[in-house]
Amino acid sequence: MKLCPKHPELLGKRYASNRACVGCQQEEYKARRQTPEYKERERLRLLAWRERNRERARALARKSMAKWYENEENKKARVAQSIAYARAHPEKVLVEVRRRQTAKLRALPAWANSEWERFFAREVYHVARRRTLLTGVKHVVDHIYPLRAEWVCGLHCAANLQVLSEAENLRKHNKRVPSMEDNYAPTLCTWFA
């Protein structure tokens, strides 16, 4: 078998279909993948696949992000990146903080300002802090129905608070899986708007 002068280490390995050197074919393929035309075609192919397989694409993305967040180095890098961004763009961060505070205030009904409500809310935050201290896993207070979401907006009251680990809260993000009773009940915002 004839040796390829570029790849003598392959000892003449060739593809059966076209008798081309394996190493040369791989180099040619790598070079072709770097062209802008190939990259654009792949981008469009991937977008079309995502469109056809939305649920599977979302599941794969969630799985990938969960795996990425399991790595402590990635977590530290993400925190460092967030801190650097906040220092570089304090006005943008402040806008988001104020938007959330305003949404919280708008979502605070008059009846939720009672002594009992404030006590219960303080207790929920206390439970989150205690769980963090006891388990060593950061726990946060989460709104069961998000204050700002596409299809529902919840209230900032004790009945809408829950304690979750930080990882669960990040996974939940700004969503809540609709349940049967959600189909029959109007959104909480419409009651008090």
- What DSSP assignment string belongs to 8-56? GGGTT-B-TTT--BHHHHHHHHHHHHTSHHHHHHHHHHHHHHHHHTHHH
Tell me the domain boundaries of the chain.
71-106, 110-193
Average pLDDT over every residue of 1-29: 80
Say how many residues make up the chain: 193
- Which residue in this structure is represented by tokens 């399991």? 70
Lowest mean pLDDT among 66-70, 86-90, 178-182, 186-190: 186-190
In this prediction, residues 86-95 reach a mean pLDDT of 87
Helices and strands of the chain, counted as H and E runs: 8, 2
- Between 166 and 185, the higher pLDDT residue: 166
Give yes or no for residue 139 having a pLDDT over 70: yes
Amino acid letter at 110? A
What's the confidence (pLDDT) of residue 179? 53
C-alpha–C-alpha distance, residues 166 and 132, integer Å: 10
Q: Where residue 93 falls among pLDDT bands split at 50, 70, 90?
A: confident
pLDDT at position 153 over 80: no
How many angstroms separate the CA atoms of 121 and 163, rounded?
Answer: 11
165: enclosing H helix or E strand? strand 161-165
pLDDT mean across residues, the chain: 82
pLDDT of residue 80: 93
Using the predicted structure, report yes or no on whether residue 192 has a pLDDT greater than 50: no
Q: Which of 4-8, 45-49, 70-74 has the weakest average pLDDT?
A: 4-8
Give the list of residues 6+ apart from residue 22 with CB closer than 8 angstroms, or none: 7, 10, 13, 14, 15
d(CA 172, CA 161): 14
Beta-carbon neighbour count of residue 143 at 10 Å? 22
Average pLDDT estimate for 182-186: 44
- Is 57 in contact with 50 (CB distance < 8 Å)? yes
Predicted TM-score (pTM) of this structure: 0.46
